[in-house]
Amino acid sequence: MFLPASVENLIAEFAKFPGVGRRSAERMVFDLLAAAPERSQGLLDALGSIKAGITLCPQCGYFMEGGKCSACQADRHRDQILVVEKPLDVIALEKAGGFRGQYHVLGGHLSPLKGVTPDKLRLAQLYDRAANPEVHEIILATSPSVEGDATALFISRQVERDGLRITRLGRGVPMGGSLEYTDAGTLRLALEGRRGFDTR
């Protein structure tokens, strides 16, 4: 296919997004080329405002615009901090509902083989927050992987103090799931994390 270099470059940039292959990138670019100029300008303006106005909150590490972080709102409980790896994890947990405490985004998980050491994560900020006597619980919600578990263990040893409860997100059989199709590791964790049955 013979395409102008600028079109080819734009396709290549779109194809770098997660879940977007060459064909999807081509469709997006060709759609932009066929659209009214205002649509392209709207996309350019939106991209410009993201780069100019979006930063990471210095306290929790979530996205922030205009000096305000929606995840650090004053009406949220201050005695719980839920630790996640990525800002997208905050979005998922907020969609699930039920948590009214504070968040802390690490920016990844420990992975020495990939060069991700403790100094590369937002751990110092977490340690400062966990030392606050108002904080009574740290909930570790790192990914259910070897690296995620290692990160959770590392954090739990660093923040341990009297009066601070350290918990880990429960794991088990997903809602609507069948035991027949659940992997052995998930079943083992579900058994280990079992809790009392309330008959009231």
Q: Give the domain CATH number at 131.
A: 3.40.1360.10
Q: Are 87 and 121 part of one and the same domain?
A: yes
Write out pLDDT tens, residues 82-98: 999 999 999 988 888 88
Domain check: are 114 and 145 in the same one? yes
The β-bridge relationship of strands 80-84 and 63-65 is unpaired
Query: What pLDDT does residue 83 have?
Result: 96
Q: What's the confidence (pLDDT) of residue 197?
A: 62
- Angle at the Cα of 173 from the Cα atoms of 171 and 178, rounded to 5 degrees: 170
Domain that holds residue 82: 73-168
Do the bridges between strand 102-105 and strand 80-84 make them parallel or antiparallel, or are there none, so unpaired?
Answer: parallel
Q: Which two tokens stand for residue 89?
A: 């994890």
In a domain, 80, yes or no: yes
**Is residue 84 located within the same domain as residue 18?**
no
In a shared domain, residues 84 and 13:
no
Q: pTM for the complete prediction? A: 0.78
Same domain, 97 and 131: yes
Q: Are residues 11 and 98 in the same domain?
A: no
Q: Is residue 49 situated within a structural domain?
A: yes
Bridge-based pairing of strands 102-105 and 63-65 is unpaired
Q: Does 125 reside within a domain?
A: yes
Least confident window among 13-22, 43-52, 73-82, 163-172: 43-52
pLDDT of residue 196: 66
Token pair of 80 as six digits: 């719980």
